Amino acid sequence: MIRYITEAQVASVVDMSDALTAVDHACRELAAGRAQNSPRARVRDGKDGAIMHMLPATLDHRLGYKAYTSAKRGARFWVHLYAATGEWLAIIEADRLGQLRTGAASGIATRALARANAKTVGVIGTGYQARTQLAAVCAVRPIERVIVYGRDAERRVKWAADMQTELGIPVHAAESAREAIVDSDIVITITGASEPVFDGTWLRAGTHINAAGSNRLWAREIDAETVRRSQVVVAEDLAQIRIESGDLADAVKDGAFAWERARRLAEVVAGTEPGRTSDDQITLFESLGIGLWDVALANTVYDRCTERGIGTELPLEG
């Protein structure tokens, strides 16, 4: 039987701590050659413009993929999970799962790359994905203050108040993007922007950046100066950045970056590639989102739901 697991059921069995553990494990397995990831594939409907996205991966003797559609009405997400024997195990609603794994990837990158004494975070973006980005960073570093900026003043004030309550640390709504950047040890960008959301000259020495909002080759969230100043540039999949990272592609075009400089997060986490080597280096995690993170957390969700009898068994042969 195939187990169908809803959004509410996902939220009931995993949290950010679980997501961080899952992504860290997936990194180490990928670095050791015991996991595989394939870059996102997309197809578009010519009439209405809806897009189907698919992200496949294998981990821990299971195969899976996240499939989602994006259209004018929004996006819907599912992870399909299979045993190594080919048995279909589960269909998992994956909005919350994706929110957790995206935040966790930035958390793992922050743990690997940010200065150990980083205490201040600047966030640009006030959507639901920004919440788990910040939560993950706060889980891996002793954060004492957060400064957030978004274009909508009312929304950023509410976001700051909500996150201050959730995390128990001061969260200040900034009046400008510059205010969120200049004094921050860690910078998070998680927006739908098509043009850079801050000026790379604003970054101070030693900053770590999680650029997590853009996975479109024609869109940029950070500028070429930010990439040029980043002595360490890390990504989840080195093939995927060449077809999806507008941030890095633009820097390559400007002569500020070469693709060969990028390091894969898995090897940095596993210690086979260097990360930060001095406190004054600027480090960049270019996050696009990969199927391996979805499969990693889906494995945890499926195992816990199976153990606890959570989910609906569909009348289909797996």
CATH code: domain of residue 242: 3.40.50.720
**DSSP annotation of 32:** T
Please name the residue that has the structure tokens 């990969």. Answer: 290
Same domain for 192 and 268? yes
- 173-193 tens-digit pLDDT: 999 999 999 999 999 999 989
Give the per-residue pLDDT at 318: 64
Same domain for 31 and 179? no
Number of domains present in the structure of the chain? 2
Q: What's the rounded mean pLDDT across residues 268-287? A: 97
- 36-53 tens-digit pLDDT: 999 999 998 867 788 999
Give the per-residue pLDDT at 211: 97
Q: Residue 25: which pLDDT band, with cuts at 50, 70 and 90?
A: very high
Give the per-residue pLDDT at 49: 81
CATH code: domain of residue 41: 3.30.1780.10
Same domain for 126 and 47? no
Same domain for 80 and 111? no
Determine the distance from the C-alpha atom of residue 102 to the mean position of all C-alpha atoms in its chain, rounded to a whole number.
3
- 220-248 tens-digit pLDDT: 999 999 999 999 999 999 999 999 999 99
Q: Torsion over CA of 233, 14, 100 and 311, rounded to 10 degrees?
A: 130
Closest CA to 283 of 230, 247, 245, 241: 230
Same domain for 67 and 145? no
pTM of the model: 0.96
Q: Rg for the chain (alpha carbons), in Å?
A: 19
For residue 66, what are its two tokens? 């996240």
Q: What's the rounded mean pLDDT across residues 29-37? A: 98
Range of the domain at 76: 2-98+292-314
Q: What is the mean pLDDT of the chain?
A: 96
Same domain for 189 and 242? yes
Same domain for 70 and 142? no
Determine the distance from the C-alpha atom of residue 253 to the mean position of all C-alpha atoms in its chain, rounded to a whole number.
25
Same domain for 121 and 147? yes
Q: What's the rounded mean pLDDT across residues 105-116? A: 98
Same domain for 279 and 302? no
Q: Residue 150: which pLDDT band, with cuts at 50, 70 and 90?
A: very high
Same domain for 51 and 193? no
